[in-house]
Amino acid sequence: MTDRPTNRADAFLILRGLACLVIVIAHCQPPLAVLSSLPWGWLAAMPGGIAVRIFFTLSGYLVGKGFYLGRYGTSRSQLWRYTRSRAARILPLYWAAVLIPAVFLAPSILIPTAENDWVLLRYLTFTYNHTLPEQFNSPLWSLSTEVQFYVIAPLLFGLVRDRFRTVRRVLTAIVMVAIGWFVLRGAIVAVLLQLHGDQIGEFNLDFVRYVYTFLPANLDAFLCGLLLNPLLLKLLNSSKFSQLKLSNKRFIFIGKIRQKIVLKKYLKRLAIVVIIGLFILCENWKIAGNDNILSIGPTLSIAAICFFIVAFESGDAYHGFSQNQPFSLIACRTNPWRCWEILGVLSYGIYVWHYPIAIWLLPKFGELTDLTAFVQRSIAVLGLATIAAIVSNLVIERPGAAWFQKLAHSSRPVKT
C-alpha cells in the first residue's frame, strides 16, 4: 500500500444514505393502491424493511472489522474503548430523538403512569419495539435491535475468532447461518399462524415482536456481516502469498495484477446491479402484497449486501479505508462522486428525525390515496429531516461525542 492518501468514494456510506432514503419514502405512506395502477408505480413502493437489513449487515461487518483489525478487543480496557465509541456515536442523538418528540408529539408519555413509564423506559433503554402503545418515533426499534447486537458483539467475536482457519470453513458458516435463520423465521411464523389462526391483528403484533424486531431472529444479518471479516482476511493473505511467489516473474506478475484490477472493477458493477435488482424485486413484491418480502426478502437482502461488501472490500481495500481522505468539500471537488456521501453522513440524523416530522406533516397534505399529496409529503419530510439532521449534528452529535471523549480521558488512572 502507498502512503499517499487516496480520495475514493465510500461505497458503504453511499449505500447507507440511499437505504435511509428508501426508509423515509416508505414511512411517508405511498398509496400502494394508486401506484399499482401506474406502469412505473412500483418504483415508489419502497421496501423499508429490506433497507433496515442492509443497515444490520453493514453494522455486523463494520463492528467485526473493528475487532479483527485490533481497534477493539476483549480485555477490560479494550472493551471500555469499544463501549465508549459506540456510546459516543449512538446515545446523544438517540436520547434527544426520544425526549424531544415525546414532549411535542406525545406529552402524555411523561405523565407518571405505569404504562407510560414502561414505554418511555423501553425507548430509553433500547428495548423498544413498535407494538407498544406510544409510537411517536417507532423507527427507533431498529436502533434498539442494533444496540442489543453491540452488547453481545464482543462475545460473538470471541466465539468465532479462532474457529475458521480456511476460506471453505468461513463460507460454510455463512451459508449455514443464512439457511438456518431462514428456516428459523419460517418456523416461528408457522407457530404464530397456528396460534392466531384468522386473527390477523394478533398475528401481526407477534410477528413484529418475535420475527421483525427480535434480535435473535435477526442475528443472521449481524453474524453474516461479522463473518465476512475472516473471509476477506483469508482471501487477502492468500492473494499476498501468490503475489510473493510470482515476484521473480515480472511479466506474469504484472499480467495477474491487471487481470485482478479488471475483475474487481466488473465485480463492483455486478454488486451494484445485484443491489438494484434486490430493490426492484422487493418493490414489486410489496406493491403486489406478496408475503415473500417478509419471508424470503431478509435472506435475499443479506446475501446481496454480503456480495456488495466482498466486491468493494476484497484485497488491499480491506485496509485501504485508513488511507482515504475524510469526507470534506475539498474531497468532493477533487472527486465529485464523493458528493453522494452527504446523505450517508447525515443518515443517522435523517433516520431519527424523519418519522416525528412525518407524523406532524401527514394531516397537512390531504388524503393518503392522493399521489400528489404523497410526493409533496415525501419532499417536505426529507427536506425538513435533512435540516434537522444538520442542526443536530452540529448541536448534539459533535458536542456529545466530544463530551464522551473528555469523560474517557478524565476516567483514566493518573500515573504517579
> What DSSP line would sit under 54-117, residue for residue?
HHHHHHHHHHHHHHHTTSS-SSHHHHHHHHHHHHHHHHHHHHHHHHHHHHHH-GGGGS--HHHH
- How much is the pLDDT for 247? 46
- Is residue 181 within 8 Å of residue 217, measured between CB atoms? yes
- How much is the pLDDT for 337? 87
Residue 30: pLDDT above 80?
A: yes
- How much is the pLDDT for 238? 64
- Is residue 257 within 8 Å of residue 221, measured between CB atoms? no
- How much is the pLDDT for 162? 82
281 pLDDT band (50/70/90 cuts)? very high
Give the mean pLDDT of 273-288.
94
Q: Which comes out higher in pLDDT, residue 401 or 25? A: 25
- How much is the pLDDT for 261? 52
Residues 201-245: pLDDT tens digits? 899 999 999 999 999 999 999 999 999 999 999 887 765 544 444
- Is residue 144 within 8 Å of residue 127, measured between CB atoms? yes
- Look at residues 227, 218, 209, 216 and name the one whose alpha carbon lies nearest to residue 157: 227
Q: For 6, list phi and psi in degrees, rounded to 5.
A: -95, 170
Range name among 155-159, 184-188, 308-312, 370-374 with the lowest pLDDT average: 370-374
Residue 293: pLDDT above 60?
A: yes
First to last CA, the chain: 41
- How much is the pLDDT for 415? 46
320 pLDDT band (50/70/90 cuts)? confident
Residue that is written with C-alpha cell 414532549 in the block: 103
C-alpha cell at 232: 476477506
Give the mean pLDDT of 66-81.
91
Q: Any idea where the domains of the chain sit in the sequence?
A: 25-41+326-411, 47-324
- How much is the pLDDT for 244? 44
- How much is the pLDDT for 239? 58
- How much is the pLDDT for 248? 46
Helix (H, G, I), strand (E, B) or coil at 324: strand
Residue 368: pLDDT above 70?
A: no
Residue 3: pLDDT above 60?
A: no
Residue 175: pLDDT above 70?
A: yes
- How much is the pLDDT for 199? 87
Residue 118: pLDDT above 90?
A: no
* Encoded amino acid at 304, one letter: A
Residue 410: pLDDT above 80?
A: no
Residues 178-196: pLDDT tens digits? 999 999 999 999 999 899 8
Residue 413: pLDDT above 90?
A: no
Helix (H) or strand (E) holding 314: none
- How much is the pLDDT for 372? 86
Mean pLDDT of the chain: 87
Distance of CA 166 to the CA centre of its chain: 28
Residue 344: pLDDT above 80?
A: yes
C-alpha cell at 89: 456515536
Residue 36: pLDDT above 90?
A: no
258 pLDDT band (50/70/90 cuts)? very low
329 pLDDT band (50/70/90 cuts)? confident
406 pLDDT band (50/70/90 cuts)? confident
Q: Which long-range contacts (CB under 8 A, 24 or more apart) does 157-161 make?
A: 157/64, 157/67, 157/68, 157/74, 157/226, 158/74, 160/226, 160/227, 160/230, 161/67
Helix (H) or strand (E) holding 275: helix 250-288
Residue 62: pLDDT above 80?
A: yes
For residue 324, what are the β-bridge partners?
6
Instruction: Report the percentage of the chain scoring pLDDT > 90.
Output: 56
SS (H, E, C) 194-239: HHHCCCHHHHHHHHHHHHHCCHHHHHHHHHHHHHHHHHHHHHHHHH
- Is residue 250 within 8 Å of residue 261, measured between CB atoms? no
- Is residue 90 within 8 Å of residue 147, measured between CB atoms? yes
C-alpha cell at 195: 396460534
CA distance 50 to 23: 9
- Is residue 373 within 8 Å of residue 38, measured between CB atoms? no
CA distance 416 to 401: 29
pTM above threshold 0.85: yes
Q: Which comes out higher in pLDDT, residue 164 or 277? A: 277
Give the mean pLDDT of 287-316.
92
